[in-house]
Chain A
Amino acid sequence: MMRIITVCGLGVGSSLIMKMTVDSAMNQLGVKCSIEHWDMGTVKGKPCDLIVTTEEFQKNFQDQKNVVYLKNMVDVKEAKEKLETYLKENSLL
């Protein structure tokens, strides 16, 4: 099962919202996954297959390839499109 982590600054608001959006999007894509939400400080070193965060944090993940960035955190359609592209590019879908 795919492990996804959603990340924001404090790990209490935006990351939780993204967790719900990603959950809906992955359901629609029919891909089973577990999703955790963390803050920027503790996410480093957490094992996962994919990180989902906001565009504001692009600079924090420059050295990582398994990251999807959202512009609108409640937009399931945007999340679905970006996740679908990522999954296809990595032969996961």
Chain B
Amino acid sequence: MIKDILTENVVLCDVEVKNWREAAQAAGGLLVRAGKVHESFIDSMIQTVEKFGPYMILVPKVCFFHGEPNENVKEACLSLCVLKNPVYFDDFDHQQINCAFAFGAVDKDSHMEMIMNVAKILQNEQFIEAITNNYPKEKIMEIIQKY
């Protein structure tokens, strides 16, 4: 269930960042502090964007940062930073994001169930509205509790 993964300690709202790299660092930092990934995982998430472009914008304005699955990830994990102001992939096609997930995987598909649940919650328009408009954390956690 998403509510067992996106717990209070890995969801942050009203996050102030200046650019997409800082957004990735903020979301990844939550996973580092929760003891789910090593610090170097954050670099891997940023390198993935630098290598392939911001293809991980799963839904417009919603970025799903992820890095190489390797020993930097201790277990499959997810965090969410809702941004106070949007940031832009200005070194690419200037796509805007208003929130950043950080997703860690240990291999190619053992996190299948988690991803299925991520897909479900991202289909909830209320949830997208909340995370792309910096709604209060209580409101966002309330929706997460249903998944």
Interface residues of B (CB under 8 A from A): 48, 51-60, 64, 66-69, 103, 105, 107-109, 111-112, 115-116, 118-119, 122-123
Asked if B60 and A14 make an inter-chain contact with CB atoms under 8 angstroms apart, the answer reads no
**Residue A56 is within 8 A (CB to CB) of chain B in the complex:** yes
Could you tell me the distance in whole angstroms from the C-beta of A34 to the nearest C-beta in chain B?
15
Interface residues of A (CB under 8 A from B): 8-14, 16-17, 20-21, 37, 40, 53-54, 56-57, 71-76
Asked if A14 and B58 make an inter-chain contact with CB atoms under 8 angstroms apart, the answer reads yes
Query: Can you name 15 A-B residue pairings with CB atoms under 8 Å?
Result: A8-B55, A9-B51, A9-B52, A9-B56, A11-B108, A14-B55, A16-B111, A17-B115, A17-B118, A17-B119, A21-B119, A37-B109, A56-B52, A56-B53, A57-B53
Interface of A is mostly: mixed
Distance of A14 Cα from B67 Cα, bound (Å): 11
Selected from B53, B111, B123, the residue in CB contact (under 8 A) with A74 is: B123
Interface Cβ pair total, 8 Å cutoff: 74
Smallest Cβ-Cβ distance to B101: which chain A residue? A13
| Residue among A17, A53, A57 with max Cβ neighbours from chain B (10 Å) | A17
Could you tell me the distance in whole angstroms from the C-beta of A69 to the nearest C-beta in chain B?
11
